[in-house]
Structure formats: C-alpha cells, structure tokens
Amino acid sequence: MPNIDSPQEIVKEIRITRCPVPTAASLALDLGLLDQELEKSGCTAAELTRDTRHALPDAHFNHTLPFLVREGGNIPALWARSTGSDTRLIGLSWVDEYQAILTLPDSDLQEPGDLRGRRIGIPRHRYLEIDFRAAQALRGFHNALSLANLTLDDVNITHLEAVREGRRDSWNTEIEALQRREIDAVFVKGATGLEVARTAGLKEVIELGFHPDPLVRVNNGVPRTVTVDTALTEQEHIVEQILTSLLRAADWSKDHPEDFIRVVTKETGASSEYVASAYRNISLRPSLREDYVRALEAQSRFLFEHGFLPNPVNVWDWILPEPLAAAEQNIAKGVSLT
C-alpha cells in the first residue's frame, strides 16, 4: 500500500513474466490488452523473454527484480516468498490440465495401488534454484498414491539427474529412464505431457488432472499464482490496470476458443490437438476464491514438509485483495481505468 511518509517512485515500466502454459497474461500480451491499460498511466510492459538486460531464469524463479509481475506455477512463487522475496499474491487461476502417472505398455501396473514397492522416477534439475519439476512429480505421485490409501513411503523413489533444459516442460529424462526399465512409473502433465504419452505409446496408470476431487488435481499448475513485487503495489492504479487487462483477456478467451488454442500452442510448443485435449477447462480468470486459497495452502504445506520450501508460507497473509476487487468492479461496470 502507499507509503505516505516518503514520495513514491513513478513507475514507467513494469516487467512481466509467465510460464509457458495457459495464462491470462499471455493472452493480455498477445491481444495488446495489457498495453492498452498501462498506457493510461504512461507505463509500458517489458517481457523478460524478450529483455536481454536481465537474467530471465533468475528473475522468473526468485522474483527479485523490481516492478515484476509473474503469472505461472505456484511452486516457484511459494519458494520465492519462503526465501524472503518481497512479493504479494494478487490472484489465482484454476485451469485443469492433463496430469498422469505413466508406465510402459507391457507393465502390470493397472491402478495406483499397484505402485506399492515400485520405482518411481523423480527428475532432479539441480541447476535450478527451486527444483519445481522434482516437486511437481513428487506431488503427482503423492496425489495418486493417496487414492489407494498409500503414501510416498510405500514406493521406491529413484532420483534421475537431468541436464539443463529450456523453460518449456521436457520429459526426456523420465521417459528415457522408463524406456530403459530403470524405473516403473513417471509423472507428466500439460499438453507436452499428453503429447509424449501418446507419441511414446505409454500406458496411463491413472489420469489425475480431471479427477472429481479438486485436491487430487492440486499441483504446480493448479492453482496458478499471479504475484507482484511489493514495491509495485505502492502504485495501486497500475496493479489495478494489470489485473483489469488479465480479467478482460480471460473473459475474451471464453468466446474465442480457437484463438485461445492458438496462443497456448505458441506458449507450450505442443501440437494444437494436444493443447485442446490437455486444457479442457478454459477459465483463466484471476480470483481469490476461498477454495483456491485453501488449495494453495495445502500445496504450501506439502512443499514445506518435503523440503522444497526453507520456511513455511502463510498464504493468507501473502494475499493483497484490494487490486483485484477494484479490477472486478471495472469489468462489471464495463469500463477500465482512465
């Protein structure tokens, strides 16, 4: 909130980053909606993927750049908060996505209960500040095992050392280990996960992403977080404009499914047919619904208990609700900030 004891810095440029998944931010950028809103404050948005002045990997994960907006997986966002990065949570989105435990087609694994005593592959990207890919794989197996009243103590965890990869999800390390029969099962998600499952001819032990229990679907991408550098929140109108553009983009996507698929295909690098199948719930609208927050709270506890967060995160204290409430009022009135 504004500091009345000192003059505020005039923000002329924000920095924005998002994960290569369905986000309102990617649509707002593609459609020019973010620029439309920010120009009313004489502000511009620089995409980190196109900005050579900053170290993208560090900024995307540790959230330490000033005036940064990030929309994407909750694991890096929670980790940044846990390690002391001064951020606020201003929105959550819930986009159900394909999530599955896969095995070889000739495996006798048929259901989650069959995982007892088996070798599960957990990719380790130790070059990352936060190994979110290991965390999401472990969470996926945890969710699957819970359906058979089993825990991670009932399986044999095999750590698979992964080489440096780009920002898009790659399942090469796990799939190759599975095909060499060094492990019995792997976790994949999203359009790229569905694509590799189909093209490699792998068998699903269970598909989790559309399970009727929403807590079984909780992972890095469910719910996704919208976070901002706390210094930016001193410019209330700018944060409100950012969220207004995200809401406008989310509402637009409902009536333009083909364009939604086009943008997400560009973001993920997967084929459009897999994008359409992997993300069946086109709901990008940022929200701070209580059930979304409680899902994030459960995710935060899991990550801390399994050593992925150095300190616990009080999710409720992290939330800054006022900008989203104001942006929602703009949308309801059919106007945007001037």
- The answer, as to whether pTM is greater than 0.85, is yes
Could you tell me which residues come within 8 angstroms of residue 258 by beta carbon, excluding any fewer than 6 positions away?
A: none
Parallel, antiparallel or unpaired: strands 156-161 and 119-124:
parallel
> Do 225 and 120 have their domain in common?
no
Whether 7 is covered by a domain: the verdict is no
The model's pLDDT over 168-214, given as tens digits with 9 standing for 90+, comes to 567 999 999 999 999 999 999 999 999 999 999 999 999 999 999 99
> Do 206 and 253 have their domain in common?
no
Tell me which residue range forms the domain holding 153: 99-217
> Do 264 and 286 have their domain in common?
yes
- One-letter amino acid at 67 equals F
* DSSP H helices in the chain: 24-30, 33-38, 56-62, 74-82, 132-146, 172-179, 190-199, 236-255, 257-268, 272-278, 290-305, 315-318, 322-333
> Do 169 and 71 have their domain in common?
no
Whether 248 is covered by a domain: the verdict is yes
Whether 338 is covered by a domain: the verdict is no
> Do 114 and 206 have their domain in common?
yes
Whether 267 is covered by a domain: the verdict is yes
Name the nearest CA neighbour of 47 among 131, 76, 271, 38.
Answer: 38
The model's pLDDT over 297-322, given as tens digits with 9 standing for 90+, comes to 999 999 999 999 999 999 999 999 99
> Do 108 and 180 have their domain in common?
yes
> Do 249 and 308 have their domain in common?
yes
Ranges in the chain, pLDDT < 50: 1-7, 54, 336-338
Give the pLDDT of residue 166.
57
Tell me the two tokens of residue 6: 């000192």
Q: How far is CA 305 from CA 94, 116, 139, 311, in A?
A: 24, 21, 11, 10
C-alpha dihedral sign at 259, 264, 266, 269:
negative
Give the pLDDT of residue 14.
83
Total structural domains within the chain: 2
Of 163, 190, 217, which residue is a domain's last?
217
Give the pLDDT of residue 4.
40
Is residue 205 within 8 A of residue 185, CB to CB? The reply is yes
> Do 303 and 231 have their domain in common?
yes
Whether 5 is covered by a domain: the verdict is no
> Do 68 and 42 have their domain in common?
yes
Whether 27 is covered by a domain: the verdict is yes
Give the pLDDT of residue 165.
66
Whether 40 is covered by a domain: the verdict is yes
Q: Which residue has tokens 């500091």?
A: 3
Whether 320 is covered by a domain: the verdict is yes
Q: How far apart are CA 238 and CA 233, in angstroms?
A: 8
